[in-house]
């Protein structure tokens, strides 16, 4: 059975390999990185088979397309390893939420302040929500004072990424981690 018959159909982001390369002429680079020049696709595939490797299209938009003689399985493996390494080093920032009310008392405010400090120390962003009920909506300034007081108490630990703004019956403020103490 032929090797290309065993290959699964390519993913959208994978390069074309061997018989899937449909152009008549290609620029060929060998496995050592030497430019072999422009040649017929069939001749390039025969050369790759002689060496026990695949003809892989690396630059399909070039004129003529650039193909490389390489072991396609090894290229896929190396790319998969690079992507896994990139994912491992990626930092995921979550958005935590703290809810306040215009009438939140000092002790409760301090408890919520410590929670915000902990979230920021862990590297997460914090969304501060002040919810208004009934006639409290007439005193938006009290909610804004709550947000400003929280930001002032945090000092350099937090950066106000989005200043307090109203959205319906709620006021929002977004804090991001600042400099460490």
pLDDT tens per residue, range 105-144: 999 999 999 999 999 999 899 999 999 999 999 999 999 9
Q: How many domains does the chain have?
A: 2
34 lies in which domain range? 3-85
Claim to verify: residue 108 and residue 70 sit in the same structural domain: no
Rounded to 5 degrees, φ, ψ at 79 are -65, -40
Q: Residue 12: its pLDDT value, please?
A: 67
What is the chain's Cα-based Rg?
A: 30
Where among 85, 105, 120 does a domain terminate? 85
Q: Is residue 121 part of a domain?
A: yes
In sequence order, which residues have a C-beta less than 8 Å from that of residue 161 and are 6 or more positions away?
A: 125, 174, 175, 176
CA 127/CA 147 separation, integer angstroms:
10
Q: What is the pTM of this model?
A: 0.55
- Residue 152's φ and ψ, nearest 5 degrees, are -65, -40
Residue 16: the pLDDT is: 87
Task: Identify whether the C-beta of residue 31 lies closer than 8 Å to the C-beta of residue 53.
Answer: yes
| Pair (72, 38) in one structural domain | yes
Residue 111 is predicted with a pLDDT of 96
119 and 50 in a common domain: no
Query: What CATH number is given to the structural domain containing 55?
Result: 3.10.20.80
Between the alpha carbon of residue 175 and those of residues 112, 132, 143, 147, the distances in Å are 14, 20, 16, 10
């Amino acid at each position: 059975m032929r090797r290309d018959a065993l290959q699964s159909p390519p993913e959208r982001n994978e390069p074309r390999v061997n018989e899937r390369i449909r152009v008549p002429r290609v620029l060929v680079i060998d496995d050592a990185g030497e430019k072999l020049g422009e040649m017929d696709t069939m001749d390039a595939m025969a050369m790759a088979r002689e060496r026990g490797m695949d003809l892989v299209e690396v630059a399909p938009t070039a004129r003529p397309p650039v193909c490389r003689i390489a072991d396609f399985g090894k290229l896929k493996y190396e790319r998969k390893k690079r992507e896994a390494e990139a994912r491992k080093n990626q930092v995921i920032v979550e958005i935590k939420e703290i809810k306040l009310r215009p009438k939140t008392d000092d002790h409760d405010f301090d408890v919520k302040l410590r929670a915000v400090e902990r979230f920021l120390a862990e590297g997460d962003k914090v969304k501060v929500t002040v919810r208004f009920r009934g006639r409290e909506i007439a005193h938006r300034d009290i909610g804004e004072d709550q947000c400003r007081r929280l930001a002032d108490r945090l000092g350099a630990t937090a950066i106000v990424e989005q200043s307090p703004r109203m959205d319906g019956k709620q006021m929002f403020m977004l804090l991001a981690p600042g400099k460490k103490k």
